[in-house]
Amino acid sequence: MGKEAALRDGVSRRDFIKTCVAATAIMGLPYSMHTKVAEAAQRANKPPVIWLHFQECTGCSESLLRSNHPDIASVILDTLSLDYHETLMIGSGAQAEKSLHDSMHANHGKYILVVEGAIPTKDKGIYCKVGGMTAVDSLTKAAEGAAAIIAIGTCAAYGGIQSSPPNPTGAMGVRDIIKNKPIINIPGCPPSPYNFLSTVLYYLTFNKLPELDSLGRPKFAYGRKIHEHCERRPHFDAGRFAVAYGDKTHAEGYCLYKLGCKGPATYANCSVQRFNDVGVWPVSVGHPCIGCTEPDILFKKPIAEKLQIHLPTPPDTYAPADLGQKGPGVSPLATGVVGIAGGLALGAGAMLTKKLPTGEETHEKHE
């Protein structure tokens, strides 16, 4: 993206650099690397992208393109050559099909295939068809000429809600069907738009795929449990739990573990990166994490079910609270508030930069 293009599209140079700085921090790179990342985003030769939709709610595209600020969408749309995207393209029917086939042919072996949504495999795949082709056939055909595949959202990565028991359509993730291509999973329902952006920028900056964990997720974004950085963590450590929605314990910001929070087993960066450009995430607004980045938790374990914690991890961002401090000392509410304030002050990027996942430490300890 050139400076002119960015300004034309309503994104100032400052916002563009700010977005690159945030993406650089998520990748766990030093601050100074943002200039290299910005350079990569502005290169003239945009990689072609074919984006397929299958069984899903389109929330992944929505969260990516309708973020509060236009920065992320603009950077993505200006950095990539989005040749085919069913919900964004103007053309339809035979015209759209032609552009898909033309792009696959012209860019054979070079394009990035982005898949959104699960793929139904039962009854010869008849439960999802586009242009007369089943999702399985469309995926297999598009995957043949792809340099790499990004499965965006938990549906495309692992099957998502469609694959929850009894999985009537035999819904699966991309990795269950395509075995001979590099696949990067960006789970979340929907995923953080920054995790997709950072993955694309990593690829463009270093010309290689980021290091992945055993579930195919970039370690830089999914290398740690949200429980380690949660602002309610001091309450968890002090044994102060919300016991019902809307009661005093909930209103005072106590830990949501007893309401079913899956944070202690969920690998993601939402407690650090947060959403909607206003610093919120599910737990900060009072809802337990439902483990939306985890194939064995999302829609597999009841939302209200209490998680068994097998391998506890120590807190990382917020200081533990003193178990004995019940009386006139620091109140439970205050520890939560201090935690939130600390999180906002430190900033997501700074924390992630300091807390790079190290080597093998990820899913050996997966619970």
Amino acid symbol at 12: S
Nearer to ligand FSX, 119 or 238 (CB): 119
Nearest-approach distance from CB 305 to ligand SF4, in angstroms: 13
**What gap in Å lies between CA 341 and CA 234, rounded to an integer?**
13
**Cβ atoms within 10 Å of 71's Cβ, excluding its own:** 24
User: Does residue number 238 form part of the binding site for ligand SF4 (CB under 6 A)?
Assistant: no
Which of 226, 205, 348 lies closest to 277, judged by CA? 348
Nearest-approach distance from CB 63 to ligand SF4, in angstroms: 21
Is the preceding omega at residue 166 within 30 degrees of 0, hence cis? Answer: yes
Candidates 64, 270, 321, 351: give the one binding ligand F3S (CB under 6 A): 270
Candidates 53, 85, 219, 233: give the one binding ligand SF4 (CB under 6 A): 233
Nearer to ligand F3S, 28 or 153 (CB): 153
Structure tokens at 111: 């394009």
User: Does residue number 236 form part of the binding site for ligand SF4 (CB under 6 A)?
Assistant: yes
User: Does residue number 154 form part of the binding site for ligand FSX (CB under 6 A)?
Assistant: yes
User: Does residue number 26 form part of the binding site for ligand F3S (CB under 6 A)?
Assistant: no
User: Does residue number 232 form part of the binding site for ligand SF4 (CB under 6 A)?
Assistant: yes
Structure tokens at 202: 């990593």
Q: Given CA atoms 158, 159, 164, 165 in this order, what sign does their dihedral have?
A: negative
How distant, in Å, are the alpha carbons of 57, 95, 176, 251, 294 from that of 170? 17, 31, 11, 41, 19
Instruction: Return all residues near 32 (Cβ < 8 A) that are at least 6 apart.
Output: none
String marking each residue 259-298 x if it binds ligand SF4 according to CB under 6 A: --x-xx------------------x-----x---------
Nearest-approach distance from CB 118 to ligand F3S, in angstroms: 17
Checking 239-242 for CB contacts under 8 A at 24+ apart, the result is: 239/323, 240/332
Nearest-approach distance from CB 113 to ligand FSX, in angstroms: 15
Q: Which residue matches tokens 């607004």?
A: 285
The residue ranges that bind ligand SF4 (CB under 6 A) are 226-227, 230, 232-233, 236, 255-257, 261, 263-264, 283, 289
Which residues participate in the annotated binding site for [3Fe-4S] cluster? 270, 289, 292
Which residues participate in the annotated binding site? 57, 60, 155, 189, 227, 230, 255, 261, 270, 289, 292
